[in-house]
Chains A and B, each alone.
Chain A
Amino acid sequence: MGLLSDPVRRRALARLVLRLNAPLCVLSYVAGIAWFLALVFPPLTQRTYMSENAMGSTMVEEQFAGGDRARAFARDFAAHRKKSGALPVAWLERTMRSVGLEVYTQSFSRKLPFPDETHERYMVSGTNVYGILRAPRAASTESLVLTVPCGSDSTNSQAVGLLLALAAHFRGQIYWAKDIVFLVTEHDLLGTEAWLEAYHDVNVTGMQSSPLQGRAGAIQAAVALELSSDVVTSLDVAVEGLNGQLPNLDLLNLFQTFCQKGGLLCTLQGKPEDWTSLDGPLQGLQTLLLMVLRQASGRPHGSHGLFLRYRVEALTLRGINSFRQYKYDLVAVGKALEGMFRKLNHLLERLHQSFFLYLLPGLSRFVSIGLYMPAVGFLLLVLGLKALELWMQLHEAGMGLEEPGGAPGPSVPLPPSQGVGLASLVAPLLISQAMGLALYVLPVLGQHVATQHFPVAEAEAVVLTLLAIYAAGLALPHNTHRVVSTQAPDRGWMALKLVALIYLALQLGCIALTNFSLGFLLATTMVPTAALAKPHGPRTLYAALLVLTSPAATLLGSLFLWRELQEAPLSLAEGWQLFLAALAQGVLEHHTYGALLFPLLSLGLYPCWLLFWNVLFWK
């Protein structure tokens, strides 16, 4: 603190910041990236451990042996589903009642904002069926949920079969202390969302549904199951939920415990973990990057993702049937699930002991929030340094050279942009925000106008309007530069850039706190060009760089990276198709589940990025 009150030393510091700004920025950026890459190595990554006492030391003996029954249920279910073309509600009700559950149904309907071409649906109406196993001598205050989302295609029959067989097995046991809800939802995640909203009696997304007849208290944990074959080679677990929310790490630890106990091959992001071999860290990095990409997308990767909003810890288990030699039948999967439910049944409190914010380079390794946050901190430091430099330059330019011994520095309360006038900043800020608002509102609102005047379908219209508005934003600088006075040519863009830098740093900081992956990904791409942008020098190069690191281009790049990491590289045309589909999905998910990525990009980061574009083309 003496550093700031001593004018001489302060001047030295200011000079250091000004003179060494570029190397410091580069160093900080490199440090950020290097820190992130180092997250897969042992001092930063740790072995997972069970924190919850109630699930820790007690062992349970799994007795589930209903493999044949599960297969029979699955066959019946598939046959009835094929016959009726939709979820066989009556059959499910009958079967659940015959295994001794209290059965209820819930019908729901939802008109999507525009047709969903990926899932081929627009006016959606369906029925969820759920059965409640009432715990003896308990007053239905707590419950666990096992859910199977059923889409329009005929997958997941085996999951329904296993769910019913597990229900039959669980019903005969006397040790339950929490009610168990067996939920089969139609239209996969839409059904889950409808059920959750009705269960909590809220309406977040404009879903129309019938009220629930039966409830089972506060849901403590949920497991979603997706199985499409009678045998599996591995079980994949998905943790990333809506808006990058993650379940408590203990739930994942629980799953991993039973994977090890049952000798199952369990994978994360489709990758088995192998820390013993030499390229273990490399594989860990791949898994970590995949997790970052999936978490950054903010979409629920499985129906568990919707539970997290209601503070229900949940994860999705996916049975994978690939070309591996060793296969497991439904009994092994059922035993793992039975073990998990019995341990969850022991819970005295909600899962809260372990981490809620973590990254996973493997199923048995994790990085806690305290260790990964420095990575994004270093990246944001670049913006801070750049802003400091601009502030000082602005200040010196305003002061002139009359007071060489004066104290230029942040402690002097002189508004630096006063000379330029704040008025000149208002126009670009307002215009870029208005562009963002247009980007958010117009595509969905104007789809009918677009379909009337152009030969496109609604979904295409939305995506194309989105891209058109996005590109139109690039024409922005020509609209605003005339407003600016010509007195001090440099001060105008400097002030604008200063504001833009602070705005970007604030946004990225907030995003990184709630969804680290998204914040980090955006910071990696946007920070260097944001720091570089200025109206001098090789403008075309800067412009190209800026376009390449815009939020939309980041999305495109992430898609390529994602497929590359999954060892299924995309061609350019495929990538473009996937990009268009992802745009439509992003908008849809905002409207159907309340995902925040689309409004965040359109209302927050895109206007901010436009400000830099504005700086670049300042005249």
Chain B
Amino acid sequence: MAAAMPLALLVLLLLGPGGWCLAEPPRDSLREELVITPLPSGDVAATFQFRTRWDSELQREGVSHYRLFPKALGQLISKYSLRELHLSFTQGFWRTRYWGPPFLQAPSVWINLGRSSVMSSQGSSAPLSTSSTPPTQSLPLPPSNPWVWPMTLTTTFCAMLCCRGRWSAPKTSPPGRSSCPVVPRASLISFHLLQAGLSVLLKADRLFHTSYHSQAVHIRPVCRNARCTSISWELRQTLSVVFDAFITGQGKKDWSLFRMFSRTLTEPCPLASESRVYVDITTYNQDNETLEVHPPPTTTYQDVILGTRKTYAIYDLLDTAMINNSRNLNIQLKWKRPPENEAPPVPFLHAQRYVSGYGLQKGELSTLLYNTHPYRAFPVLLLDTVPWYLRLYVHTLTITSKGKENKPSYIHYQPAQDRLQPHLLEMLIQLPANSVTKVSIQFERALLKWTEYTPDPNHGFYVSPSVLSALVPSMVAAKPVDWEESPLFNSLFPVSDGSNYFVRLYTEPLLVNLPTPDFSMPYNVICLTCTVVAVCYGSFYNLLTRTFHIEEPRTGGLAKRLANLIRRARGVPPL
């Protein structure tokens, strides 16, 4: 599949025409950041974030002068009164069980449009979590035509987005938000416009040899001050990749920037006000000194990320001493003692989804939700969007934990409409401590009209992943941080309180085979039916219209006929 998609790199850093040499203080700023995290399985995750913040009321003022903020997106915001836009393109699947919970959760394509509450500087609002405050302002809804959004986004991102049917809104999200959680297959072509700072590392042939690749754009308003009297617009472009340690490191878990990206850092981005590399050097063993980073970091940063205490080494590219010493910065990490070759620690929440059953008539969608926390139960919000051609039987919905039925505290089901809208099933399920919860629902495969099949019908039809949102209990209490000052990776989806952290997970997309006709069949069927109808019709017509009369049995054979022939020749009446 990867070969079929012409992919290039997305960094929409559009250069404004010379605006930054003006005397007045720039109202927009760019921060860039790279976080490198060794994952529990031994692979290495690298997360780039480029954050552009613009102190401008895009929707109110007629803005025509753009500097760092891309004009195409700005116009999109002002034209459609957009309040938030989250769009991500992902190739691969974040394997939560082996890699731990992701920083930036993203399914294949995730589009989230419309209104939600303005992010306050304390960052108390978590998208899709049930505790989010309802919006206070009312703004015109996005255009009702469901095709306008995909079309506009398609032209902006040079991506192929198409949703079958109407986009639907989960009940628990703020009203007016339209979201198409996942388009399972989307093609993407985009452009890379600036090569400086951290984006030097974005070299396509390396990035596309990774196990996981996800790029995303998040646009949202943020408060300019604590009282939120005015707002700024924030654009975050993120790129997460996971390098396969087994292939790139030949079995060793050591890594360096050069080995991963085949480049090193040479200079900070001239436009960026902050340009930093964070390296996760948390040691899980009590006896320290198991790993070593080179060059030694000047500062470190400690915080509670996703429920665990982490230590990061910080490399600030704007610090002139960092690069000038050797003209380049090649961060390396070496394990002094190789970590034990044992099963990696399992995160508290992970999930698995599959289709069960065989044959082309019925099937069952099963989702396994694992809560591996030893003693805490926690609720999970499960959101399923199932295409209409899998006809769900809601009475077959069963949820079992530890062999007992688990009644969800909340269920919202919106049935599908053929060719218009998918099934939407939303449940709040309490996961008991240290348990596996199985959610299963049976479906019947619908027969499509023969023009509705895709060009490759025998490939199967994709069913989008389930979306799991949960507040998972933390190991350590997190203290509230200053949102504007903390690193970027910490502030996209901030924690809601100290004892829990918000996690959104996506399960695997599924591939379901529908009953597929042999497409040369219509021709055969037409030929056969016509023949049968013609033959039957002919004989019936014959029987109905014919008058029957009894014919004198002819006696005598050849001799009699001969005799008659002779008699006729003689002029005598025949026998």
Contact B244 A136 (CB under 8 A): yes
Contact A202 B508 (CB under 8 A): no
Known contacts being A215-B352, A218-B355, A350-B460, is A139 close to B246, with CB within 8 Å?
A: no
Contact A215 B246 (CB under 8 A): no
Instruction: Encode contact with B along A188-227: 1 for CB under 8 Å, 0 otherwise.
Output: 0000000000001110000000000111011000000000
Chain B CB within 8 A of A338 CB: no
Chain A CB within 8 A of B101 CB: no
Chain A CB within 8 A of B358 CB: yes
Chain A CB within 8 A of B137 CB: no
Q: Among A2, A137, A350, A405, find the residue whose CB has the most chain B CB atoms closer than 10 A.
A: A137
Contact B513 A350 (CB under 8 A): yes
Chain A CB within 8 A of B458 CB: yes
Known contacts being A8-B551, A200-B356, A349-B456, is A136 close to B366, with CB within 8 Å?
A: no
* Bound CA span A174–B210, Å: 9
Q: What is the chain B residue whose CB lies nearest that of A2? A: B542
Chain A residues 1-59 with CB under 8 Å of chain B are: 1-2, 4-5, 8
Q: Among B208, B352, B358, B458, find the residue whose CB has the most chain A CB atoms closer than 10 A.
A: B358
Chain A CB within 8 A of B509 CB: yes
Q: What is the chain A residue whose CB lies nearest that of B2? A: A137
Contact B535 A136 (CB under 8 A): no
Partner of A310, one of B91, B358, B459, B511: B358
Pick out which of these stretches binds chain A: B92-100, B252-260, B563-571.
B92-100
A311 surroundings in chain B (CB, below 8 A): 358-360, 513
A100 surroundings in chain B (CB, below 8 A): 246, 251
Known contacts being A1-B542, A217-B508, is A136 close to B513, with CB within 8 Å?
A: no
Chain A CB within 8 A of B341 CB: yes
Contact A202 B357 (CB under 8 A): yes
Chain B CB within 8 A of A309 CB: yes
A136 surroundings in chain B (CB, below 8 A): 92, 209-212, 244
Q: In the assembled complex, how far is the CB of residue B236 from the closest CB belonging to chain A, in whole angstroms?
A: 22
Chain B CB within 8 A of A321 CB: no
Chain A CB within 8 A of B325 CB: no
Contact B210 A352 (CB under 8 A): no
B364 surroundings in chain A (CB, below 8 A): 201
* Dominant secondary structure at the A interface: loop
A352 surroundings in chain B (CB, below 8 A): 458, 516
Q: In the assembled complex, how far is the CB of residue A223 from the closest CB belonging to chain B, in whole angstroms?
A: 20
A interface residue count range (under 10 / 10 to 19 / 20 to 34 / 35 or more): 35 or more
Chain B CB within 8 A of A142 CB: yes
A174 surroundings in chain B (CB, below 8 A): 209, 247
Instruction: Encode contact with B along A341-366: 1 for CB under 8 Å, 0 otherwise.
Output: 00000001110100000000000000
A201 surroundings in chain B (CB, below 8 A): 354, 356-357, 364, 366
Chain A CB within 8 A of B213 CB: yes
Contact B456 A348 (CB under 8 A): yes
* Bound CA span A105–B150, Å: 44
Chain B CB within 8 A of A537 CB: no
B354 surroundings in chain A (CB, below 8 A): 201, 215, 217
Partner of B341, one of A1, A4, A97, A142: A97
Partner of B511, one of A5, A102, A141, A172: A141
Chain A residues 99-147 with CB under 8 Å of chain B are: 100, 102, 134, 136-142
Contact A137 B92 (CB under 8 A): yes
Contacts A141-B462, A352-B458 aside, 11 further interface pairs with beta carbons under 8 A come to A2-B542, A139-B108, A139-B509, A141-B508, A200-B357, A202-B356, A214-B352, A215-B354, A217-B508, A217-B510, A350-B460
Q: List 27 A-B contacts (CB under 8 A).
A: A5-B543, A5-B546, A100-B246, A102-B98, A136-B210, A137-B91, A137-B208, A137-B211, A137-B213, A138-B2, A138-B92, A139-B108, A139-B508, A141-B508, A141-B509, A201-B354, A201-B356, A213-B352, A215-B354, A218-B460, A218-B510, A310-B358, A311-B358, A311-B360, A311-B513, A349-B458, A405-B553
On B, residues with C-beta under 8 Å from A are 1-2, 91-93, 95, 98, 108, 208-213, 244, 246-247, 251, 341, 352, 354-360, 364, 366, 456-460, 462, 508-513, 516, 535, 538-539, 542-543, 546, 551, 553
**6 nearest A-B residue pairs (beta carbon):** A1-B539, A201-B356, A349-B458, A137-B91, A139-B93, A137-B92
